[in-house]
Amino acid sequence: MISIMKKQRNKLINNKNKKGIIIGLGTLICVYLGVSVFFVNHFCFGSQINGIDVSFKTINQAKEKVSSVISTYSLEVEGRDGIKEKIDGKEIGLTYNGNDKIKEFKNKQNSFKWITSLFNKSQFQIDEIVTFDKELLKEKLNKVSFFNSKEIIEPKDVTFEYSDKGYNMIDEVNGNKIKENSVYENVENAILKQRNTLNLDEANCYEAPKYTSKSKETKEAKDLLNKYTSLKITHTFGDNKEVIDGSTINKWLYADENMNVTFDEKQIRKYVDSLAAKYNTLGKTRTFATSTGKTVQVYGGNYGWIINKSEEVKSLIEAIKKGEDVTKEPIYSQTAVSHDNNDIGNTYVEINLTKQHMWFYKNGSLITEGDVVTGNMNQNFGTPAGTYKLNYKERKATLKGENYKTEVDFWMPFNDNIGIHDATWRTEFGKDIYINNGSHGCVNSPPSLASAIFENIESGTPVVCYTE
């Protein structure tokens, strides 16, 4: 009996529970449907338009709220050095222009899925919800501090500084020069999207250095500069030497706008010019000890060392590019016999124009000497003084001039068409014959004297002509 009663009681409880569940479900369904009906004309939970909360708003209410917010809109533009500028919507004629867009946003929401909006915000970005006067915006931007040319610092690439320990990098300068078109574009875009802040740095609105201390090209340039300045170049001038190292070479180098290591040829040329000024001997006055025991100063002539400046500049650049120590002679366009004080060595022809006498020394020994006849002074054909070099020697030559044509056995020119040759037509030499009956500038010699010189002399031998 007791068992039957328990069963009946449990049955009554179960029936009550079922009715409660049914009622609860019905209530929930009603609430769900009621809320769904509400959201047919209202925005769901977490609905935002351009960051403006329009939850539970009707389309018209949302329009009013968005329009109200837009009416007080302003954009803060942040630049470098803590500079900030504010652009008020009223200054640029900002107006609401998004009716259809807001309705479009509402139509995308399913009112029967309002529950999901409890967990996921529904954000809608309307990029053209406003319109504004672009000319007014431009006028405003042109007045802000970012565009103040007096305060602009130009960006600057990383540079290099040389020290006795090699090259150091001097960091790039970012500066604060803005890209005007980029600023206009980013500000317009921020306003259209109704953003409240714009960071010009983050928006890449500043001019930037092309190369920084972290650039691959910068590091490569530094390595190459150090390689070039770590070497030594030694020029030899006989027993004399001129050594250049990084302290000089660094003045010849620079990294161009593309971080290519480039040679400053003008600076290299200055150095080569200094070598030429010190070691070129063409045209220099020579102190010469004569065979008569006197010491004379010999001016002019075409003899002497001449450094080929343009070729030597190229040679130095090539040597540096190899990156190795080198010992070398300069490239010469003309050479002399030696690098001694008067550079003529101990093999030379000596012509005393005053005494009308000529000597020929070879390796320091006198080979021959004798009287000569030089250029006619009264007819302005005087043989020029100076130090020259023998151009060449020729056997059986024909000498030609305006009024003459002469055959000679030994021809040795040293100053253009002026040279030493035999003069078989003369019966005497020396004395003062040259004053009124001299040559056209050549050194007329007895055949035996000319022959002795011819047989022992070589091209390039110095010929010293002087007066006492």
Measured distance CA(162)–CA(142) in Å, rounded: 42
What lies within 8 Å, CB to CB, of 282 at 6+ separation is 302, 303, 304, 305, 306, 334
Query: Which candidate, 184, 204, 187, places its Cα nearest to that of 76?
Result: 187
Measured distance CA(465)–CA(382) in Å, rounded: 12
Q: Are 134 and 188 in contact (CB under 8 A)?
A: yes
**Distance of alpha carbon 443 from the chain centroid:** 58
SS3 category, 208: coil
Active site residue 442: yes
Catalytically annotated residue among 42, 205, 440, 442: 442
Catalytically annotated residue among 44, 421, 440, 465: 421
Residue 215 vs residues 175, 204, 218: alpha-carbon distances, Å? 18, 18, 5
Strand 52-53 versus strand 130-131 pairing type: unpaired
Measured distance CA(135)–CA(138) in Å, rounded: 5
Active site residue 421: yes
Token pair recorded at residue 352: 């005393």
Give 310-365 as a DSSP string: HHHHHHHHHHHHHTS-EEEPPPEEE--S-SSSSS-TT-EEEEETTTTEEEEEETTE
Q: Helix crossing, 265-279 with 309-322: angle to 10°?
A: 120
Strand 332-334 versus strand 306-307 pairing type: antiparallel
SS3 category, 448: helix
Residue 219 vs residues 214, 228, 414: alpha-carbon distances, Å? 7, 14, 57
Residue 446 vs residues 88, 101, 284, 351, 423: alpha-carbon distances, Å? 109, 118, 31, 14, 6
Point out the residues that are catalytic.
421, 442
